[in-house]
Structure 1
Amino acid sequence: MSMQQSYHALSRLFDYPRQREEVESCYDALATYLRRSGIESRARLFGEMLGNSTLSELQEDYVARFDFNPAAAPYLGHHLYGDNQKKGGYMIQVKQEYGRYGFEAPVDELPDHLAVVLAFLAHLARRGEDEVRREFIGKLVLPAINKLLGTSEQRDTSPWLTLVEAAELLCSADCREEATC
């Protein structure tokens, strides 16, 4: 499994769960990559929840975690800027990067949704745009993920949080390969 595949799998895990088999496959791919890379992660807690939940329970928990909890919303601009004009500038910058590197973001999701951002990182990895990817992570991804984790850790024990932690670990490990983040 490659860095690109791990970003893709993690991206899919932040989408609303529609098929249990896909969630299981993406979790297994991510867990395998983390283990093989020597990255210690609490994502196994998500795996345990996955093993003990039906698809409808996963969907219910996803909505409770991400849709009804503003502190845990997977929108990176929200965590960096709240609801002010600076968030708009962040969104424009993210969309410009997508366009510059030929990435077509889904039209049914905001560009700063963690699933979309991780899909873009997978796209950059597939294209071999390592320096660009690491710069994007350092400037636009890690600061927001760290804020999201900072606001969530004290109040949230959801296994979904371990996926946010895994995103931070994966991005940080990616940046350690080159000192650009």
Structure 2
Amino acid sequence: MDIGTSQRVCGLLSRLLEYPSSEWRQHLPAAREMAAEIAAADAEAARHIEAFLNAAESAGEIAWQEQYVRTFDFGRTTNLYLTYEQHGEERERGAALLAWKRRYAEAGFILEDGELADYLPLVLEFAASASWSAAQEVLAWSRPALHSIRLSLAEAGSPYTGLFELLLQIVPEAPAELAAEPTLTGRGDN
């Protein structure tokens, strides 16, 4: 998948992984149009997105919202806060979050809505808009958590599984120094 398509997929996945409010549902036709555009560059990516959209559109709004909450809000191994599984509420998580926030700032990406820096839709928004080298670094930090989430989703038979399979095709397998989670004494403290 080329860089432009990868970034467009990240942008779309950022939206699809947000809480499925009524407004979110109203944007599903636009997401389907984007999937059709992505299909021209990567048919497999489009198939993952279309399968997800089919599941979302066929489910009732309340049922889909309940499934989202059960999946992402109550599941420790499927939590969309990427440092949570490893650190929970431990002090080290705060240091990792600060390092992520600093990396965003170095790339000119300013957090405005008060969301934590490791929230997956935010990470994907960054990947969609930052330079690809900065995006790859942050995505590489995310890979272990994304892999763990995908395994848990697959085990549960979740319709979100395909989105994570697609995401793992985009996220680079990085050298240890790039994939290592940032800390205040590491890369993120420059």
Corresponding residue number in structure 1 for 2:72? 66
Q: List gaps (5 residues or longer) in structure 2.
A: 180-190
In structure 2, how many angstroms separate the alpha carbons of the residues matched to 1:38 and 1:84?
42
Contact kept in structure 1, 2:14 and 2:122, CA below 8 Å: yes
Corresponding residue number in structure 1 for 2:121? 115
Does the alignment pair 1:104 with 2:110? yes
RMSD: 2.7
Corresponding residue number in structure 2 for 1:26? 31
Corresponding residue number in structure 2 for 1:2? 5
Structure ID, larger Rg = 2
Which whole-Å deviations, capped at 9, do the CAs of 1:24-51 have from their partners, x for residues lacking one?
4225524652663254664444222123
In structure 2, how many angstroms separate the alpha carbons of the residues matched to 1:68 and 1:136?
25
Q: List gaps (5 residues or longer) in structure 1.
A: none
Which whole-Å deviations, capped at 9, do the CAs of 1:61-98 have from their partners, x for residues lacking one?
21121112222111100133333222222211111111
Letter in 1 for 2:145: A
Contact kept in structure 1, 2:87 and 2:93, CA below 8 Å: yes
Pick 1 or 2: higher relative contact order, CA cutoff 8 A, min separation 6: 1
Corresponding residue number in structure 1 for 2:95? 89
27 and 106 in structure 1: CA distance in 2 versus 1, 3 angstrom threshold = farther
Letter in 2 for 1:25: A
Identity among equivalent pairs (%): 24
In structure 1, how many angstroms separate the alpha carbons of the residues matched to 2:40 and 2:48?
11
12 and 77 in structure 1: CA distance in 2 versus 1, 3 angstrom threshold = same
Does the alignment pair 1:75 with 2:81? yes
24 and 161 in structure 1: CA distance in 2 versus 1, 3 angstrom threshold = farther
After superposition, where does 1:118-137 map in structure 2 within 5 Å?
A: 118-124=124-130, 129-137=131-139
33 and 131 in structure 1: CA distance in 2 versus 1, 3 angstrom threshold = same
Corresponding residue number in structure 2 for 1:141? 142
SS in 2 for 1:159: coil
After superposition, where does 1:48-63 map in structure 2 within 5 Å?
A: 48-63=54-69
Deviation, 1:56, is 2.8
Aligned residues: 170
